[in-house]
């Protein structure tokens, strides 16, 4: 399982965590909520999004098995900075913020990896802002899918085309055309609510 936790840390998290499940479309937490838990995802994918002042949804990231969710708010004690929604059935293990703090005390190397992961998220957010203002939609879609394949044991994206459009900052029509181009080139296959990366190398030529 890809992710920030080592096998030993996963075993410890499983021993301490509370199992939770979410249905597809269910909100795990809302932007502005108090930080009441940190989740380690076991199965399923979650989109992390914010709402702009104009009411438009902006997808910041897609989290999958092996990743943590909600750790930033638990670390600084401030309200949730985004809304997390299950895009397929999700199984996770929850720790209360106090238990998460104790877990970091017992596994100090995890804190270092979390800092690196958070730094990577900041850089990725900056890159996304640049991409939304430059580059064609095919390139932006290819980069998102390449990123997903590079950080997951399961190179599939369980998003609707509207969600993907919100992730790359494009219209649904432009995103559909980009997916068609990548599909015609043999990079991906599309199913209902699912995009499967078939050839990472070919996909990289676009991104």
Domain of residue 33, CATH code: 2.60.120.10
Q: Which of 130, 133, 152 minimizes the C-alpha distance to 200?
A: 152
Is 121 part of any domain? Answer: yes
**Whole-prediction pTM:** 0.81
Residues 107 and 165 in one domain: no
**E strand residue ranges, 44-199:** 46-51, 57-63, 68-69, 83-86, 90-95, 156-157, 188-191, 194-197
Is 125 part of any domain? Answer: yes
Residues 119 and 143 in one domain: no
Helices 137-150 and 161-168 pack at an angle, to 10 degrees, of 100
Q: What percent of the chain has pLDDT over 90?
A: 50
- SS3 state at 46: strand
Is 1 part of any domain? Answer: no
Token readout for 157 is 């994206």
pLDDT at 113 over 70: yes
Residue 154's pLDDT is: 65
Residues 144 and 54 in one domain: no
Residues 41 and 121 in one domain: yes
Give the pLDDT band (50/70/90) at residue 95. Answer: very high
Residues 162 and 65 in one domain: no
Contacts of 78 (CB under 8 A, 6+ apart): 35
The count of structural domains within the chain is 2
Residues 109 and 158 in one domain: no
Q: Which of 166, 167, 180 minimizes the C-alpha distance to 138?
A: 180
Its domain, for residue 188, covers: 135-206
Is 194 part of any domain? Answer: yes
Residues 123 and 197 in one domain: no
pLDDT in tens, 120-135: 776 666 565 555 555 6
Residue 53's pLDDT is: 84
CA angle 131, 183, 45 (to 5 degrees): 65
Residues 18 and 103 in one domain: yes
Residues 180 and 88 in one domain: no
Mean pLDDT of the chain: 87
- Domain holding 159: CATH number? 1.10.10.10
pLDDT in tens, 140-153: 899 888 877 766 66
* Residue 161 backbone class (left: φ over 0; alpha: ψ -120 to 50; beta: rest): alpha
Q: Which helix (H) or strand (E) is 176 found in, with range?
A: helix 172-184
Is 197 part of any domain? Answer: yes
- SS3 state at 190: strand
């Amino acid at each position: 399982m890809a992710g920030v936790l080592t096998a030993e840390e996963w075993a410890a998290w499983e021993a301490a965590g509370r199992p939770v499940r979410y249905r597809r479309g269910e909100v795990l937490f809302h932007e502005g909520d108090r930080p009441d838990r940190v989740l380690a995802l076991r199965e399923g994918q979650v989109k992390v999004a914010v709402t702009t002042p104009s009411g438009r949804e902006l997808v910041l990231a897609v989290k999958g098995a092996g990743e943590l969710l909600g750790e930033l708010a638990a670390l600084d004690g401030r309200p949730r900075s985004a809304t997390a929604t299950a895009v397929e059935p999700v199984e996770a293990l929850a720790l209360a913020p106090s238990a998460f703090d104790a877990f970091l005390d017992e596994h100090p190397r995890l804190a270092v990896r979390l800092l690196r992961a958070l730094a990577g998220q900041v850089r990725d957010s900056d890159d996304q802002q640049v991409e939304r203002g430059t580059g064609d939609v095919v390139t932006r879609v290819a980069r998102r899918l390449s990123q997903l394949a590079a950080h997951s044991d399961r190179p599939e994206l369980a998003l609707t085309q509207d969600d993907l459009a919100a992730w790359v900052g494009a219209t649904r029509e432009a995103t559909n055309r980009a997916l068609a181009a990548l599909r015609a080139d043999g990079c991906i296959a599309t199913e209902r609510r699912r995009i499967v990366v078939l050839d990472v190398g070919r996909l990289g030529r676009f991104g």
